[in-house]
Amino acid sequence: MIGRYTRPEMGAIWSMHNKFSIWKEIEVLACEAQAELGASGITKEEAAWIREHADFTVERIDEIEKVTNHDVIAFTTNMAEHIDADIEQGAEPPSRWVHYGMTSSDLGDTALSYQITQAIDIIIADVKQLGETCKRRAFEFQNTLCVGRTHGIHAEPMTFGMKFGSWAWALKRALTRMEEARAVAACGAISGAVGTYSSIDPFVEEYVCEKLGLVPDPLSTQVLARDRHAQVMAALAVTASTLESIAMQVRLLQQSDVIEAEEPFTKGQKGSSAMPHKRNPITAERVCGLARVVKSNAQVAFDDVALWYERDISHSGAERVALADSFIALDYMFGKMQWMLDGLQTYPAKMEHNLWRTRGLIFSSKVLLALVDTGISREDAYVIVQRNAMKVWEDIQNAVDGPTYRENLEADPEVNLAKEVLDEIFDPWDFLTRKDVVFDRLQKLEF
């Protein structure tokens, strides 16, 4: 991922230095496990020497790989240079025990699992922070009237806090998915060329995995099955879709014809190079755009699941790009969404103004039920309600001043509803007598 969309902590996890640092730790742990096992010949003193002297430089690894065309061999070669640097000429080199009985995927896949857990932990923290923000702001707007919209058309009254509340619940589901994906990904394998432990004792795998907080794969071939990674990428993609959905709502709310809310516009910010009046939802749009990257990368992970026999490397290059880019992009998206929703500018007066823009049409469902209560069939009541509504609709669409929906109903001889009944029907709060049910549920939500 380009630097523009990379936050330092997440970027560091996917750096080459961090990857090789994990590789080094796995190789050292494997040596210590072999020494403790006492079966291969390595002594605890040699394992301690390897622990103390093992090192690498990314530049030297790159230099060696240009010759070997093999990143693991380049790494172990460079690590051996450091381990054996102070060994007397002719003495047995301690580095001979590094990578003993292991194959490249034992190292690479176990390290990748550890990287994924590091990265997921950051995403989990991101989800919790944004979820708590949405919950807090939901109660801030618990009693702020606004119009609900279905198909983009005014529907019935609701409160603005319900929007934040629905986002909080979506993030709770995202948290569950990420925690489940972490459990699936936290798996290591040091089982040899085709998973038979032909040259390495399973104790080494158990020892290394325990030290890294991983669980040994019950049956690896040469690689960890990529359905694990696909589940991780699917969780990232669904979470990105959730952020995209929220950002889309912000974009819609910020439209000039709506303008009930807008993302922060900071001091000195410029909205357009040509039109100085503009305040564009650029952050929300950026989130929506990056969501496309994360979602498309999930398909890469699905395609990586099918490998030839016990292993090929068709997945390798693709996942090196897709995993890092998805984690980095999603973490960046969370940073922007936190900034946006924590500082979201809201305009309650405009919300109430918009509520009445359709001159009372949003109360049609209540009118329908009231007419049915008088003994009229639902079909006949629907005709009466719609007939009067369409008169107002036509006036609105043609920018014609005309009677409100209530005034049309009061003039209709077929509408036999008392003034007190109409007063109740045309009170937006009458729709919200049970709204506290959802806020009581939200109160119990924990991240």
The CA angle 308-309-311, to the nearest 5 degrees, is: 70
Question: Which among 52, 38, 141, 126 has a CA at the least distance from the CA of 95?
Answer: 52
Structure token pair of residue 8: 């330092």
CA 21, chain centre distance (Å): 27
Q: Please, which residues bridge with residue 345 across strands?
A: 262
292 phi-psi bin (left φ>0, alpha ψ -120 to 50, beta other): alpha
Q: Which of 151, 256, 273, 277 is catalytic?
A: 151
Q: Under a CB-based contact definition with an 8 Å cutoff, are residues 58 and 16 in contact?
A: yes
3-state DSSP assignment of residue 33: helix
Query: Residue 133 has which token pair?
Result: 């923000």
Bridge partners (DSSP) listed for residue 147: 157
* Residue 146, strand partner residues: 158
Cα distance between the two ends of the chain: 29
From CA 433, how far away is CA 425, in angstroms rounded? 13
Residue 117 burial (10 A CB sphere; 0-12, 13-18, 19+): buried
- Residue 46 tokens, joined: 């040699």
DSSP SS3 for 3: helix
Residue 158: beta bridge partners?
Answer: 146
Which residues lie across from 346 on neighbouring strands? 261
Contact partners, residue 420, CB within 8 Å, separation at least 6: none
Q: Is 151 a catalytic residue?
A: yes
Query: Choosing from 199, 272, 365, 377, which is the catalytic residue?
Result: 272
Torsion of CA 69, 72, 78, 82, to 10 degrees: -170
Question: Residues with catalytic annotation?
Answer: 151, 272
